[in-house]
Amino acid sequence: MVPMGEDETIENRLRRLYQPTRIASEYIRKILNDPEKCGPCKITTVFGPYPDKGRTIIDEICKFVASEGFCAITLHGYYHPLEPDNMQSIDDLFPPVVRVIFQKLQSMYVRILPRIACRVVVNLTDIRTNLIEWNESYMIGKPIFNFLLAEEISFGEDQDCAYLNVEDGDTWVECIAASSESCTGAYLHGRFCPFEKLPWIIKQGTIDNRPTSRLVGAKNIEAIKIPLRAFQSVPI
């Protein structure tokens, strides 16, 4: 590889960074698409914050995804549909040559995992590095299931945003705005929106890519499983 010069453009530097990532991702994806591994379009990556109960939430979502017949992959391990309750080492998915190249660049896994995935699930209950992971998935056009957990997800039809669809006995809700132009923010019209504090780029990117991407709020993990099952079942 030709060393970077001080006069090299930022575009060229980024190109050098992404080139090995794309190669590694394509290599891994082809391996995992083998029916004896995960199978074609059967890979879901799950991102989210780890502090507090974050890791527990990620693990529960991964177990559910695996129980539905998909490989669920996250930064600290993966779940295979044949063993949906058993987290296995993520290193088992990465050939030795890839681990040697990227083992000192942990952040590169954030860029590899969205590329090998067919679908992406992001826990947005707290915004941390999951914003980076969401952005990487969005930039390469992956279908994204965005969710957050909260005690208050609806104040009732008279107080909710007109684009907030309440489902299944008030246990989960979804933004069904036709476009991001429709979403002017609850603070402008005095209506409640559980997604109001999310970064605008997430709301805009999700709303404008419905129905392949979804924005869901729920009171608990069990409620999340209902729309997540539907998201996983849509052909890609």
Burial class (CB in 10 A: 0-12, 13-18, 19+), 37: middle
pLDDT attached to residue 2: 41
Would you say residue 217 has pLDDT above 90? yes
Is 19 in contact with 25 (CB distance < 8 Å)?
no
pLDDT at 105: 59
Give me the numbers of helices (H) and strands (E) for the chain, helices first please.
8, 9
* Among 12-26, 125-139, 160-174, 211-225, the least confident range: 12-26
Confidence of residue 37 (pLDDT cuts 50, 70, 90): confident
CA distance 230 to 143: 13
Q: What is the pLDDT of residues 167-190, one digit of tens each?
A: 867 899 999 998 988 886 555 567
pLDDT at position 19 over 90: no
| Model pLDDT, residue 18 | 61
| Top mean-pLDDT range of 21-30, 82-91, 96-105 | 82-91
- The domain spans of the chain are 1-137, 143-236
b/e code 115-124 from CB counts within 10 Å (16+ = b): bbbbbbbbbb
Q: What would the mean pLDDT of 185-197 be, rounded to a whole number?
A: 77
- What mean pLDDT is predicted for residues 75-97? 88
Q: What is the pLDDT of residues 101-110, one digit of tens each?
A: 776 655 667 8
pTM for the structure as a whole? 0.87
Question: What's the CA angle centered on 63, arms 62 and 69, to 5 degrees?
Answer: 95
